[in-house]
Amino acid sequence: MAQKIYDLTIPIEMGMPTYPGDPRYRTRQLKSIEKDGFALYKVMMGDHTGTHVDAPCHFIPGGITVSDLPLEMLNGRARVIEIHNPEKVDAPELQELLHHDNFRVLFKTRNSLLWRNGRKFKKNFIYITAAAAQLIVDSGIKLVGFDYLSVDRFGDETHPVHDILLRNQVIIVEGLNLAEVDEGSYDLNCLPLKLQGLDAAPARVILKG
Amino acid sequence: MAQKIYDLTIPIEMGMPTYPGDPRYRTRQLKSIEKDGFALYKVMMGDHTGTHVDAPCHFIPGGITVSDLPLEMLNGRARVIEIHNPEKVDAPELQELLHHDNFRVLFKTRNSLLWRNGRKFKKNFIYITAAAAQLIVDSGIKLVGFDYLSVDRFGDETHPVHDILLRNQVIIVEGLNLAEVDEGSYDLNCLPLKLQGLDAAPARVILKG
């Protein structure tokens, strides 16, 4: 019996929400079946478009690049944890939910509902606090998945959560849609494009279980 | 004991080989840690860049798009078959190698050696014949992986192999590097970007086993 596959990936399409300041996704059709016998497109996008992986060198000088992230960390068992706090992922709540055998955790928050009719970027998304980020590091977690386009509170120019996680080699996966997935343990496949030397890459992310 | 993971993906980088007529891969750095506190890039590429998946609508009017390809077909058991013919993958040789329990096959040819110092596109790559393509369809195969940038012979404007495979809903994965992988059965994860409505998408492709 095959396992069910959940696609956690946001469709990449014109008009999709992007983080303010990031390039918009655009395509240009270069060839068509009608005129040329085959289709061909050019695509243009930021490296943090849609569902994507942040590598340490997004914020940390000399940090590892997205093409060098170990596939052994990006793929394996992962736990989906539902966060009921409507404002933030904070340490006291997280303390009870994290176990030392979780290397990969995906936080499902109300953010996942923002993708439903979400053409516009929403600034008041649920974020992770610096205390929670430190707890994540101290718990031995190596990959954090999140269901909006940043883990830091919008407008916080000190971006403490990126800083704490990436400085400690914790891989960040942003822009997941976890609306259809229940809490529990799954097989995660998180495969970012192999964009050589870049600080991030769009990814396709699935769960099996 | 964790399984070994093989990365079959060509690095996406400036100067990489692309199929003649396809856009070159380019990046533009928009933000840097030194000046802005974080890195951000814009990337521009064709939708058939590097290791990529062809969907039926690349050649077949009204064919399914790359974002609608079933994840259940892109992921699962796959067999790596080594082809020793130095010119083409042809039906007589293939007849003995294919079994009716193979839904996904990856052909390892001498093409995989072309990636070694392969900045320039090579026109004389090993290709698949129309007879072999028909045999693939008749054998019930649903996904074919290949280790260069086209399954059709270079310069064949009738592109029979794309036509036969895509018309019969066989997913084509091109641009694999199989140099480090032995013949055998593996778990395949082939995850193309979710480029809504397009005829192809760059992918990250791994084997476990």
DSSP string, B78-94: EEEEE---SSEE-HHHH
How would you classify the pairing of strands A88-89 and A52-54? unpaired
Task: Give the bridge partners for A108, in sequence order.
Answer: A82
In a domain, B61, yes or no: yes
Of A10, A45, A59, the CB nearest to B33: A59
Mean pLDDT of chain B: 96
Task: Give the bridge partners for B77, in sequence order.
Answer: B187
In a domain, A199, yes or no: yes
Q: How many CB atoms are closer than 10 A to CB A76?
A: 18
A166, amino acid identity:
L
B119 pLDDT tier (thresholds 50, 70, 90): confident
pLDDT at B1 over 90: no
Contact: A43, B41; criterion CB under 8 Å = no
Q: Which residues in B lie closer than 8 A to residue A61 (C-beta atoms)?
A: 33-34
Tell whether B36 lies on the interface with A, counting CB pairs under 8 A. no
Number of residues in chain B: 209
Tell whether B33 lies on the interface with A, counting CB pairs under 8 A. yes
pLDDT digits (tens, 9 = 90+) for B25-68: 999 999 999 999 999 999 999 999 999 999 999 999 999 999 99
- Total domains present in chain A: 1
What is the value of pTM for the model shown?
0.97
Of B31, B157, B191, the CB nearest to A191: B191
pLDDT digits (tens, 9 = 90+) for A160-170: 999 999 999 99
In a domain, A35, yes or no: no
∠ CA B133-B201-A30, nearest 5°, is 95
In a domain, B39, yes or no: no
Range of the domain at A127: 5-11+46-208
In a domain, A38, yes or no: no
CATH number for position B195: 3.50.30.50
Q: Rounded to the nearest 10 degrees, what angle do helices A160-167 and A130-138 cross at?
A: 10
Of A12, A57, A67, the CB nearest to B194: A12
Tell whether A189 lies on the interface with B, counting CB pairs under 8 A. yes
For residue B49, give how far its alpha carbon lies from the nearest alpha carbon of chain A (Å). Answer: 10
In a domain, B24, yes or no: no
Contact: B45, A42; criterion CB under 8 Å = yes
In a domain, A17, yes or no: no
A99 pLDDT tier (thresholds 50, 70, 90): confident
Tell whether A15 lies on the interface with B, counting CB pairs under 8 A. no
In a domain, A18, yes or no: no
Which region among A40-49, B116-125, B138-147, B191-200 has the lowest average model confidence (pLDDT)? B116-125
pLDDT digits (tens, 9 = 90+) for A43-68: 999 999 999 999 999 999 999 999 99
Residue with tokens 């039926």: B56
Q: Rounded to a whole number, what is the distance in angstroms from the first to the last CA of chain A?
A: 11
Tell whether B97 lies on the interface with A, counting CB pairs under 8 A. no
* Residue whose C-alpha is closest to residue A137's, from A172, A175, A112, A113: A172
Of A41, A57, A206, the CB nearest to B47: A41
pLDDT digits (tens, 9 = 90+) for B61-118: 999 999 999 999 999 999 999 999 999 999 999 999 988 788 999 999 999 999 997 7
3-state helix, strand, coil in chain A (%, to 5): 20, 30, 45
Q: CB-side exposure of A92: number of CA atoms within 13 Å? A: 1
